[in-house]
Amino acid sequence: MTTSLIQIKANQLNAQQSTGPITDEGKQIVANNAIKHGIFSKHLLLNDESPEDYQLLLNGLQTELMPVGTLEQSLVERIAVTLWRQRRLVRSETAHINLANSPSSIVSAVNSELNLTYSEQAITKYDLTEFDQDHYQWCQAVIKEFKEIAEDKLFDMAVLQKEAPLMYKQLAEEAEQDEESIEDYLKNWDSPLEFFYDQIKYCEDEIKAAKQRPLVLEIAQTVRNKKSILQGQLRDVLAKYQVMLDNELYKAIKVLRETQAWRLDSLNGFVLENDSDSEK
């Protein structure tokens, strides 16, 4: 009997030894029940983890590694468990980085860099986006109108509407929101001029913020880049856990390959022995 025939017979015996299902229906039953019958998976999954995702991982490994018997099946599941924990480790790292890069965390760090933490000019999460250029131009135009109109004309609504249309429109909209006439609305201020001074101060503050925005965004990006890498003790703990998982993975793969090699060697020896007996 040639070596190739011996190998063929060994493969046939190996196939007969397999406890895996043959029909599509049988394979589906195993797929649906594998988590329940798994040696490790019963206590593996957290409440927010998907049994279906774990099953896909385990099925893929079983297809690629072709385990036979309980021992090899358990080794494949050990590999699956280790890979699942590595994925969980990545999720944990990502969650910590996302938390460190939350808007509130970035705002706090930027205010600290600019020495604005306890200042009225402290930035907010809304300052972490590009400044609206239309709004910037509107503020500039309002200030220009205020500088060009005589102060005594601010209370002549016809003149104000003609010479300072943006200021007039803002005044009219605010009065309408309060369901008052413009004249009555201005009476709510300590001085009628106070409305206009307040409007100009608002525009000046917005222009200042617009000019500062590129620096704020640059600092914010620097902070994000720094916070995108874990720091300190947490990084060390996760790194050690990663090394441990890598060692477990390599060890499980090595033992599985050794077990499969031992099984094939045993089957080859069994075939050779039977072939020798039959020739006698």
Q: Does residue 153 surpass a pLDDT of 60?
A: yes
Position 80 pLDDT exceeds 60: yes
Q: Is a pLDDT exceeding 90 seen at residue 165?
A: yes
Q: Which of the 8 DSSP states describes residue 43? A: G
User: Mean of the pLDDT values across residues 176-185?
Assistant: 93
Residue 188 has pLDDT above 80, yes or no: yes
Q: Is the pLDDT score of 152 beyond 60?
A: yes
At residue 24, does pLDDT exceed 90? no
The confidence band for 164, taking pLDDT boundaries of 50, 70 and 90, is very high
Measure the CA angle with vertex 117, ends 116 and 121; round to 5°.
Answer: 45
31: pLDDT strictly greater than 70: no
Is the pLDDT at 34 greater than 50? The verdict is: no
Distances (CA, A) of 122 to 46, 109, 132, 212, 239: 41, 11, 19, 12, 37
Mean pLDDT of 224-238: 91
Chain centroid to CA 189: how far? 49
DSSP 130: -
- Model confidence at 275: pLDDT above 60: no
pLDDT at residue number 19? 44
Tokens of 261: 């090699």
Asked if 156 and 137 count as a contact pair (C-beta separation under 8 A), the reply is no
pLDDT at 5: 44
How many percent of the chain have pLDDT more than 90? 69
**CA torsion through residues 19, 20, 24, 30, sign:** positive
Mean residue pLDDT across the chain: 85
Between 49 and 275, residue with greater pLDDT: 49
Mean pLDDT check: name the lowest of 118-122, 183-187, 224-228, 248-252: 118-122
Report the share of the chain in percent with pLDDT over 70: 80
Query: Distance between CA atoms of 90 and 242, rounded to whole angstroms?
Result: 9
Looking up tokens 């640059």, which residue turns up? 218
pLDDT of amino acid 43? 79
The whole-number pLDDT of residue 273 equals 55
pLDDT average, residue stretch 87-101: 94
pLDDT band at 119 (very low <50, low <70, confident <90, very high): confident
Burial class (CB in 10 A: 0-12, 13-18, 19+), 256: buried
